[in-house]
Structure 1
Amino acid sequence: MHNPPADGDPVAAAAVDAYPRIVATLIRVTGDWALAEDCAQDALAAALERWPRDGVPDNPGGWLMTVARNRAVDVLRRAAVERRKVQEIAVLTPAEEAVPGELDDRLRLIFTCCHPALPLEARVALTLRTICAVPTADIARAFLVTESAMTRRLTRAKSKIAAAGIPFRVPAGRALTERLPGVLAVLYLLFTQGYNADGEPAFADEAIRLARLVERLMPGQPEVPALLALFLFQHSRRAARRGADGELLTLDRQDRGRWDHAAIAEAVEVLRRVTADGPYALQARIAACHATAPSPDLTDWARIAACYDRLAAAQPSPVIELNRAVAHGYAYGPREGLALLAAVRALDGHPHALAVEADLTGRLGEHARAAELFRRAAAAAHSDEERRALSARAAEWHLRGSTDAPDGGAGAS
């Protein structure tokens, strides 16, 4: 035993690492999702009670696995479940947490939580709860529902897995190729839930952790490291996204000294391993252009525009077309950007589209028109923070009395 660190919570640290492994292993052995979660939670409760008194074990994960395993054995015996299951789980040892089979269990759990038979929101919630051990109350807050409502959603998702006979396995061959994008889409949405201005930062951290895990367990899948690189590039700016008064800052206005340059360096190395140019790889290459530019004025907008051209061809969407218009506006002039923006009819009246039009218009020297468009964008904004940021841009263009050199844009934050 050793004493817990004074500045950390050893149970929480062990839970982050061990909880999903314990749940995955017990699900595989018992076939009972609820039993696996209950036993893992009982083990954590036991740790909360005993570790402050007895000290943290040298192998916290092994200790938790042993307690959870013993609890499962007791429950199965009391329920008179067939002897085979009792014997199978009884032979599990703490050492098994490091063997390849246990790592496979974790990957099986990820694919089960992200099964396409479940609604997308349920996949994200189940991933947060089962794999990341995020409390149900925190998940409910992120999805703007009550804790009881989220508990019911999670219960329905688990019941559907059991009723539909969704297999606890990683698909192979063509099925893996078809299913992996769905898993990555869940991680992307999970990251977005944490990266958004009003999101839960811990969710972005969990998405990065899971992306690292999936990359380790599935080498040779190029979109997995591409997604990890994208997360790292984006997350590197978190500390700089707000000004002294808490206002949101667009990328060009951020203090680059506050960016996480270690994360950027890691992302660059990860991206070097990606040779294919799938959707996540293209997004990561765009993010790399922003993250590695010495200053906003030296951003390689031509390369960004080329990446958006390829991304729009491979995965067309109004949001991609909007960003493509921004990139072309900086690479080839605001008139080029406005011409592309005019074709994005699906986002007419959307605050982001109005902000892009405002910036491009202002860069043409039409200051009053730019101010009016920014005011319209502020009125349509989805949050108070976004509304304040857009209103501030409207005020800037209103006060501008001459055609200054471009000093910013409606770029990403």
Structure 2
Amino acid sequence: MSSPSSKSSVVMAPNSPRDITPSQDTEETRSGAGDLETRSWSGDFDPLADPAERRVLFAAFDSFRQYRRTAHMNTTHRRRQAFWALPSAHSEILSEPPFSVMDNFNRVDDAIDINADIADAIVAAGLESFGLSPNPDPEDPDNNWHGVATSSDVNKAHSTIRQFYRDWSEEGQTERDVCYTPVLKDLRKEFSERLATGENIRVLVPGAGLGRLVFEICRAGFGAEGNEISYHQLLASSWILNHTPGPKSYRLFPFALHFSNIQSRKQQLQRFLIPDVHPGATMLKAQKNLDIPFGTMSMAAADFVVLYSNPSQRSAFNAVATVFFIDTAPNLIRYIEAIRNCLKPGGLWINVGPLLWHFEDGHQRTHSGASDNAPNRGIGEPGNVELTEEEVYHLVQRMGFTFEEIQHTKDRPEVGYIQDPNSMLRSLYRPVHWIARKNPQ
């Protein structure tokens, strides 16, 4: 975040099931903390007190608020205009069965409204957590979060809603099996005996996104801390973990807004239910297992490099799990330095993911408070470099790690990212899975 030592802890512990709507649930119980009640957002850094952070947070709120309007405008409104611009004889043909193009636009509009219910629920839960009004005074710039989102912010809101398919639907399990299951297997293999003795094994998950991997690691009995810089992801993950009233309580149409490479309208309007498992109910069920109780869970809202390079985080974790994360680094050396700092000597670094370098185009990073004038640390640091897989291995070893396992190229499964399996165009990754151990100091 803006300050190198800033850390806002988002309490991601799922609450007990209650007969309430998401927007009514304003307090959560921290897993493993008995009857401790706490607000969703806490810590030594208040984003509302920092103008730059407040601006980014408000833009995230506003982008979810605008989901309904922008999705209708950019998806069906402009397509209706283009459709009626066709020669009348042609539009008449396509208005009739089996095409019924205009009827399909209406069905897509219905799907957009259902998706927008999720976006609205995220806003309502987040506003209550921060004590903000849903109808702010437009004359009060410190509290008016309406009308501040850019087109980039809105695009992030749209992609975040789609991401619930990957992380919190039954059908997304195929993608999760490739990316999350290897991490859980590695953790169990390394630490199961120590877990059985009651030791608190702490695992850091940078780039935690919508919190599913953090949740699954806690479900396996570990103490997990997620880290995320994006307020879009933080608000959405807090909602899904803390505010959903039950399993499969929300409908999601992740592919409805896309009109290319589809075989049928039925495919375009596939409906999925989220969350596939209810976090609160799952936690209570797991707590009955005395051998492996549900682990503690938290989320740190901060720049990964800035926070975990801090001396206060030195040797704080037994393991770090990076999943589809290391290629978000402008400068991978900074990430490795932070991982080395926060890992205990002999600790494990588990990685799963490709190398789609996010800043290959050279654009300056400015999200979540980082600016062009940011200090020479964190995501806002100027400069970037892209490395090959072989170069990554050399760099990791040079910086104090020893590889214990690297998945052979021929054994790497292909996996999409929020990929419709029936699409006529499939973008697939072949993520590598490797394990490195921090050398004893």
Same fold (TM over 0.5): no
Rg larger in structure:
1
Higher strand share: 2
TM-score, normalisation: structure 2: 0.27
TM-score, normalisation: structure 1: 0.28
Higher helix share: 1
Q: Which has the higher contact order (CA 8 A, sep 6+)?
A: 2
